[in-house]
Amino acid sequence: MSSLLFTPLKLKSIELRNRIVVSPMCQYSSVDGFANDWHLVHLGSRAVGGAALLIAEATAVSPEGRISPEDLGIWKDEHIEKLKQITDFIAGQGAVAGIQLAHAGRKASTYPAWKGRGQVPLDQGGWKTLAPSPIPFHHSEDTPLELDQAGIEKVVADFAAAAQRSLQAGFKVIEIHAAHGYLIHQFLSPLSNTRTDNYGGSFENRIRILLEVVDAIQNVWPAELPVFVRISATDWVENGWNEEESTKLAQILTDKGISLIDVSSGGLASNAKIPVGPSYQVPFSAKIKKETTALTGAVGLITEAQQAEDILKNKEADLIVMARELLRDPYFALHAAHELGDDVAWPIQYDRAKPAAN
């Protein structure tokens, strides 16, 4: 291949056919956590479209960990069957199936965007949320319940059980969701974590639950398969979680055997002012890649083939994690390869539509 974007990457025992990753994107299309044909087509079409790794949306490790009542879940064995159908299809297209395991914490029990805003009332299917400290995400929301030691231990155990089910469901990569203001991120940030026990205060205490989740997953997940962690590199708010802490955490996670840090930002503070624009989060990935031994994934309004190629050429990331552009164009990878002058295989069913090589 002439481009870096279409150079394979080996992560432990798996090899990605290129550097394009389908970012986990919530579909809010489940009933009781079950995957269905929407998820099959959503993920399957992007595997057909040439992406290397497809990470299923934030998948709740417990019912109370869902962002919305319509979230995908993996808290019971009955969820496995349909997920296995999806991962089998993805593998059949030469791609790798990953899953993002998540707990929404205080940002749980909310409406999908097209159904309204804010928290779902208890009498309409909502539930009481959990958090490291009794601080709501927004002043208009109910105060979450502060997790006690038993509650924290349950969260860690739920992640481990979800990892075991993920393996049975055929996933080859786990991504731990520690970003976007959800539960693990709530522990990381001093804005949402005011605890005075072993899980609050110092940097070492605030990262404790994440490290416990990592250990619990690694105890049940095969050593030859990768585990990623997604972080928000900054809260974009003064005195919040920041780039320096993210860089320090990235090295700790890498030393513990985490294969890649998926570097996003924001989501914790409702008053954050984020300068959104093309590649606006790439500098965070670049900093971590430069200052640690971690492999990184870059995300954030990456929409063009040459833009993605340049990020890799500049050694700002090792993977390109794409969201909205892959909603617009499930076949972005096939189109990008042609644009960059690489001759990649198309699905044989579509081969007659493949453009001539540049």
Catalytic sites, residue numbers? 182
Residue for token digits 């970012």? 23
Give the residue among 238, 204, 170, 182 at the shortest CA–CA distance from 58. Answer: 182
Which tokens belong to 25?
A: 């994107």
Phi/psi zone of residue 116: left (φ > 0), alpha (ψ -120 to 50 degrees), beta?
Answer: left
Which tokens belong to 186?
A: 């709530």
Phi, psi of 339 (to 5 degrees): -65, -35
Question: Residue 278's CB: how many other CB atoms inside 10 A?
Answer: 11
- According to DSSP, the β-strands at 9-11 and 14-16 are antiparallel
Residue type, 301: L
CA 331, 4, 353 angle in degrees (round to 5)?
Answer: 30
Terminal Cα-to-Cα distance of the chain (whole angstroms): 13
d(CA 182, CA 224): 28
Cβ atoms of 293 and 322 closer than 8 Å: no
What burial letters (b/e) apply to 66-97, b meaning 16+ CB within 10 Å? Answer: bbbbbbbbbbeeebbebbbbbbebbeebebbb
